[in-house]
Amino acid sequence: MANHKSSEKRIRSTDAKNERNKYQHKSTRTALKKLKLEKDKAKAQELLPKVVSMVDKLAKKNIIHKNKAANIKSKLTTHVAAL
């Protein structure tokens, strides 16, 4: 248990950040899955910039590693181009 006021606040803020990060990560994974399952090339091309933006935001906030973000974006671009 926290002994100081500042450490109690740190615990609260960390929990809030963890919840926010978890939500953003999960919503990005859902968007990735939706894009991968898309069969129509026009819709996939429309979704691609939004999903890439979401992945970039995760990498910027260190929720995922920047190289993982690059790999995801590369695979998505290749997938959409192959449709």
Whole domain around residue 36: which residue ranges? 26-82
> How many other β-carbons are positioned within 10 Å of the β-carbon of residue 42?
9
pLDDT of residue 3: 85
**Contacts of range 64-68, beta carbons closer than 8 Å, 24 or more positions apart:** 64/25
Residue 40 DSSP class: -
Residue 44: inside a domain: yes
Domain count, the chain: 1
Threshold 0.85, pTM exceeds: no
Q: Does residue 12 lie in a domain region?
A: no
Q: What is the pLDDT of residues 2-34, one digit of tens each?
A: 889 999 999 999 999 999 999 999 999 999 999
Q: Confirm whether 36 is domain-assigned.
A: yes
Asked, for residue 58, whether it belongs to a domain, the answer is: yes
